[in-house]
Amino acid sequence: MLLLVDLDGVVYRGSDPVPGVADVLAERVAAGDHVLYCTNNSSRYRTEYVRILGSMGAPVQPDWVFTSARATALELAQCDPPVRVAMVLGAPGLSHEIRDVGIRPVDPDGRGLSADPDAVVVGIDRHLTYERLAVAAQAVREGARFVATNRDPVFPAAEGLMPGAGSIVAALETAARRAPDMVVGKPGPILFEAAARSVGMTPREAVVIGDGALTDIAAAGRTGARSVLMLTGVTSRAEAEALPPDRHPTLIAADAGELRSALLRLQGGEAAA
């Protein structure tokens, strides 16, 4: 099977591993499954996830990690007309992924604007300033493609809920007076499609493992994937059971033991609402 696995709330919560999940994933890899980690986070380069996941005992290689930054870079590399220069309103991890596919990243400043960027790519930007936002908006108004890594408005941190990439996307959308041309992350289909394509498969052949009913499970539904909703993150059982029938996950798992059982059922072709 192809497993498209969310990270925060599934494999770990903050800096703490979710008990037993890494072992389940290692068992699945040993059994011949493909495991690809799919996260909307656009700030980190994938090698950082290799370090984090490896320290928790999860099976991982750099090519198994699909952040919204990496998926965005891969989509930009396929654009027609081609993207040669991308202005990055985001973190270093996003710039790194863009550089990896042969596109030149530039900062949202005067020098970046003079490079005549073909696209403005927006992710979480912890160094956001009025000036950076103003330059990015000008580039979009002057014809650059407007590409969002994701629309997550907030994300949980030790300090509480913090502004996510979607908050910056919304600010640029207001300033540039138009919506993004492309949004890559969940709940849209592009992230899962890019990940599955990397192993010669489609999301319809995959099982999504996620904790977000409105992100992971919604993206599974949009791409025709089966799904396991983990109750180890942001969605409770009551919230899951209250979903409309057409938005239900295939199976629900409260912990790693139930995840192991769910994957065995799905491997055998079973499905349940």
| Active site members | 6, 8
Pairing mode, if any, of strands 104-106 and 85-89? parallel
Tally the residues of the chain: 273
Q: How far apart are CA 141 and CA 53, in angstroms?
A: 40
Q: How far apart are CA 220 and CA 213, in angstroms?
A: 10
Q: What are phi and psi of 204, to 5 degrees?
A: -65, -20
Q: How far apart are CA 209 and CA 69, in angstroms?
A: 20
Q: How far apart are CA 228 and CA 207, in angstroms?
A: 7
Q: 């394509």: which residue's tokens?
A: 197
Question: What's the angle, vertex CA 152, arms to CA 258 and CA 35, rounded to 5?
Answer: 40
The amino acid sitting at 164 is: G
User: Any idea of the CA torsion for 256, 28, 1, 238, to the nearest 10 degrees?
Assistant: 0
